[in-house]
Amino acid sequence: MEEVEIHAEKTARKEKKGLIRGMPVSPGVAEGHAHYLGESIGFDQIEYDEAEDIVSEISRLKAAFARSQEEIITLAKHVKDMSGQDEAIMDVQVMSLQDRSFKNKIIAHIKEGSCAEYALKKAVLKYVEFFSNMEDSYLRERGSDIEDIGKRVLRNLLGYEGQETRQFTRKTVVIASDISPIDLIGLRQDNLKGIVLSRGGKTSHAVILAKSFEIPMVIGVRDMLDIVKENDFLIVDGTSGLVFSKPPQVIIDEYVRLKAEKAHKLQRLDALRDLEAKTKDGYEIKLGANIGLLSDLELVKKYGADHIGLYRTEFPFLARKEFPSEEEQFLLYKKIVEGAEGISVTIRTLDVGGDKFLSYLDYPREQNPYLGWRSIRVSLELDDIFRTQIRAILKASAFGHIKILFPMITLVSEVKRIISFLDEEKSSLKKRGVPFDATLNIGIMIEVPGAVKILDRLLHYINFVSVGTNDLIQYTLAVDRNNQKVASLYDPLHPAVISTILDVVSICKKNNKEVSICGEAASNPYCAYLFTAIETDKLSMNPASIPVIKDLIRKTRLTDAKKALNRVLLMEDSSEITSYLGKLLPNSKFKLISES
């Protein structure tokens, strides 16, 4: 895509219009005609009006809440192929509408003399202001969820109809200031090709769903109204963040060329789907998919994963206003394992904290949450919640091949305590006659350099290891990759990172323990080449990266990769390593085929 961006910049300098930049959040390229999503009336248009009859206003409010809840439930029934996460998002909206404290705050304003519309505005904006002052980005964006719910109630108070089930008759790019997850679920259809938002957040529920639906999305786009008119032809590049309005022929031709090139590459890579990721001299690596949504199972099949190397369980927790019950978790995990159709599923227990906070959990105020109360530390302290999740996973293990993975382990005592909980819950289920896989394997994520130093002791208690490269790199290099001032220092090819991962794999090999390397580094072709050289058992990555990495491995000779690794281990910095691997692997790109 670099050549497209360069060409687009040159064209923009010449024409001074037609090219708009935003923030890419869901990759891919979309073409279609612009359609401005008719937004419901906003709170800025609601002025103070006195309540003539307080009882009547309260009755109107309650009816609007009931109609809003009925709309969401009806929509859920009419939307096909709902995933567990889609249902969870709808559940959040329904639970918010059922929240007595929320409704009572509005009623209190009505009793003070405001009409229902203005009382609703006061209560919603108070919530939005509260969330907007949160330091955590995820929590800040939960304010938009409350605003979405408030607008739905407002629309029903005013008697306006929704448009979530609108059908597009041609390829369409939806433009809006923001879009709620409920609206996106309702608008999902073949002709919805892309989404452009002037607002939005990188971790919003709508973005999470757009990625899952493979709909290109760009957010934070300014001046759309000045440049784009209804029905204008658009090209939306969800990888670079570029939006072209009525693009010149040269840009159209370039995207046509790239589309054909991508189709050719994908056709060639698709032929590898059922083949092994085996080097020319016979060393095989199993390639797994990292998923977080039930709908991601389609991508697991599409890209030919050998297994699900990581199922992140955070989303059902993040998408609710309270901890999901044992039954809710069990049913979701059961759907995941049954949808995997026989391949193994590694389920990671709750990994919150750092940049992932539960709105309903009281976190301590921490100067550096990445080094604080997060991950397994939260689970071991909230042991009732942890035991509930363990029971749900154990029960789901009766329906397929499950492994349990515990994140951010730093102490042997943590592993011993986890095993104690597991044994107790297994015993309890057995006494009650509840079926489960009594032999399921347990593993730990190696994400902290200190755990590497005691890995030989940790291995006495577990069956396998998964190297969590995202956090391991962050902790090894003392770099917060979300901090733009130092993000450039986050480097998977830093010599210290490579040697640390080499140590982990070597120790696991000596102890006959299975080892997998997981995270963004696993999908980086240069890193994957080195990971092949150190003979890791498995790599686990985002599903779309699997064909690219499989192709690389099948073209590699292990003996050559080992020679390259020996040279790399003598190099001083990542720039030297990158330059060397770039010459050795000239056809490998950091950008994925699926994102080009």
- Name the nearest CA neighbour of 28 among 237, 292, 289: 237
What is the CB-side half-sphere exposure of residue 536 using CA atoms within 13 A?
A: 29
Tell me which DSSP letter residue 206 carries: H
Examine the pLDDT at 160 and tell me if it is beyond 70. no
Task: Give the whole-angstrom CA distance, residue 386 versus residue 377.
Answer: 11
- Band the pLDDT of 46: cuts 50, 70, 90: confident
Set 35, 205, 307, 494: catalytic member: 205
Q: What average pLDDT does the segment 178-191 reach?
A: 80
The mean predicted confidence, pLDDT, of the chain is 84
Set 115, 508, 518, 527: catalytic member: 518
> Between 216 and 259, where is the model more confident?
216
- Name the nearest CA neighbour of 324 among 343, 283, 352: 352
Examine the pLDDT at 555 and tell me if it is beyond 90. yes
> Between 352 and 366, where is the model more confident?
352
CB neighbours (10 Å) of residue 258?
Answer: 16
| Residue 518 known to be catalytic | yes
Q: What average pLDDT does the segment 206-227 reach?
A: 82
Q: Are 220 and 23 in contact (CB under 8 A)?
A: yes
Burial class (CB in 10 A: 0-12, 13-18, 19+), 519: buried
Query: What is the per-residue pLDDT for 90?
Result: 63
Tokens of 271: 């032929």
* pLDDT tens, residue by residue, 236-256: 999 889 999 999 998 888 888
Task: Give the whole-angstrom CA distance, residue 244 versus residue 263.
Answer: 22
Tokens 């797994």 correspond to 288
Most confident of 17-31, 61-75, 267-281, 489-503: 489-503
Q: What average pLDDT does the segment 49-68 reach?
A: 88
Examine the pLDDT at 552 and tell me if it is beyond 60. yes
Q: What average pLDDT does the segment 254-262 reach?
A: 83
Is-above-0.75 flag for pTM?
A: no
Which residues have a Cβ under 8 Å from the Cβ of 200 and sit 6 or more positions away? 25, 178, 179, 206, 207, 217, 219, 220
* pLDDT tens, residue by residue, 560-580: 999 999 999 999 999 999 999
484 — phi, psi (to 5°)? -60, -25
* pLDDT tens, residue by residue, 422-459: 999 999 999 999 999 999 999 999 999 999 999 999 99
Tokens of 247: 């693009």
* pLDDT tens, residue by residue, 521-539: 998 999 999 999 999 999 9
Query: What is the per-residue pLDDT for 332?
Result: 93
First CA to last CA distance, the chain: 6
Could you tell me the strand order of the sheet in which 233-237 lies?
A: 19-21, 242-245, 233-237, 29-36, 172-176, 192-197, 217-219, 23-26
The beta-strand segments (E) located in 78-225 are 172-176, 192-197, 217-219
- Name the nearest CA neighbour of 48 among 106, 126, 114: 114
Which residues have a Cβ under 8 Å from the Cβ of 16 and sit 6 or more positions away? none
- Band the pLDDT of 99: cuts 50, 70, 90: confident
Query: What is the per-residue pLDDT for 482?
Result: 60
* pLDDT tens, residue by residue, 290-332: 998 787 898 898 899 999 999 999 877 766 667 889 999 999 9
CA 345, distance to chain mean position in Å, is: 18
Largest Cα–Cα separation, the chain:
84
Q: Which domains does the chain have, with CATH numbers?
A: 2-38+164-265 (3.50.30.10), 43-158 (1.10.274.10), 273-595 (3.20.20.60)
- Band the pLDDT of 183: cuts 50, 70, 90: confident
> Between 40 and 364, where is the model more confident?
364
| Residue 7 known to be catalytic | no
Query: What is the per-residue pLDDT for 392?
Result: 97
Q: What average pLDDT does the segment 399-411 reach?
A: 97
The beta-strand segments (E) located in 463-586 are 464-468, 514-518, 538-541
Examine the pLDDT at 203 and tell me if it is beyond 70. no
How do the residues of the chain divide into helix, strand and coil, expressed in percent and rounded to 5? 55, 15, 35
60 — phi, psi (to 5°)? -60, -40
